[in-house]
Amino acid sequence: MSNLNNIFLTDQVLDLIADSIASQGYVLLDNFLPIDLASSLLTDVEVLSRTEFKAAGIGRNKDNKLNSKIRTDSTLWLTQQTAPQMTYISVMEQLKQGVNERLFMGLSEFECHYSRYQKGDFYLRHLDAFKSQQSSTQKNRRLSSVFYLTPDWQTGDGGELCLYADQKQVNSLLKLAPLFNQCVLFLSDVFPHEVLESQIDRFSIAGWYR
C-alpha cells in the first residue's frame, strides 16, 4: 500500500500545502484521498464507533471535568489496527515529510483520532497548542489536521468548523462544512477554532504534528 501513497500526495499538492501554510497559516484540500480509501475509513469509523469510542471529556486527566463542558464528542485514537488506518497514517507521514522538505518546520510525531459528534454535540472555541508551552518531555503541537468523513452533509446539518484569527474575533476567518473527503490543515498555536453544534452524526479524523 505504501507505494500507492506517492500518488495520493503529488509534488503539486505538497507545494500547494506548503505555500498556503507559509502565506496564510492554513490550507483547505478538497478530494484529499482516493474515494475508495475515504470510503473504507468511513466504514472503519462507523463500525468502531458502535463499540470502541470514549467520551472525549472522560479519562485519566484531571482536566476532564472541564473538558466535558468544552467538548461533547467521542473519540478513538488511530493505531495501525486496520488497513485504512494504516494507510491514512502513512499518507499523513508523507505529508509531514513533504512539508518538512519545503518549510523546514521540523514536524516530528503525528497522532490522530477519530471523532464522532452526534446530534447536539459541539466543541467550543479552543487552541490546539499554546505558544511557548513546550515541556522537555513532550513537544508542542505545531500543525493540526482535520479530515472529514461525514457523508451527504447538507446546509442545516451543523457541525461546521469555524477558524478565528484570534480568541476575541467574533466573525470567523473560515466556516467549513464537514464535507466528505475534505481536509483542513492549520497552525496549532495560531488559530482558535470551534465545532458548531451538529444536528447529525458527524465523523472526522483530527490529527496533530508535534
Q: Contact positions toward Mn ion, by CB under 5 A? A: 128
- Can you tell me the distance from the alpha carbon of 129 to that of 126, in angstroms, rounded to the nearest whole number? 9
Residue with nearest beta carbon to Mn ion:
128
5 or 191: CB nearest ligand OGA: 191
Residues in binding contact with ligand OGA, number by CB under 6 A? 9
Task: Assess 123 for contact with ligand OGA (CB under 6 A).
Answer: yes
Q: Closer to ligand OGA at the Cβ: 98 or 153? A: 153
146 binds, among Mn ion, ligand OGA, none (CB under 5 to 8 A by kind): ligand OGA
Grid look-up 470502541 returns 52
Q: With binding defined as CB under 6 A, does residue 206 bind ligand OGA?
A: yes
Per the CB < 8 A criterion, the answer to whether 39 and 185 are in contact is no
Helix (H) or strand (E) holding 40: helix 35-49
Contact status: 96 vs ligand OGA (CB under 6 A): no
Per DSSP, which regions of the chain are E strands?
26-29, 54-55, 74-77, 110-117, 123-126, 143-148, 161-163, 174-176, 183-187, 193-195, 202-209
- The entry of ligand OGA, Mn ion, none near residue 195 (CB within 5 to 8 angstroms by kind) is ligand OGA
Grid coordinates in use for 18?
506548503
Residues 157-196 that bind ligand OGA (CB under 6 A): 161, 193, 195
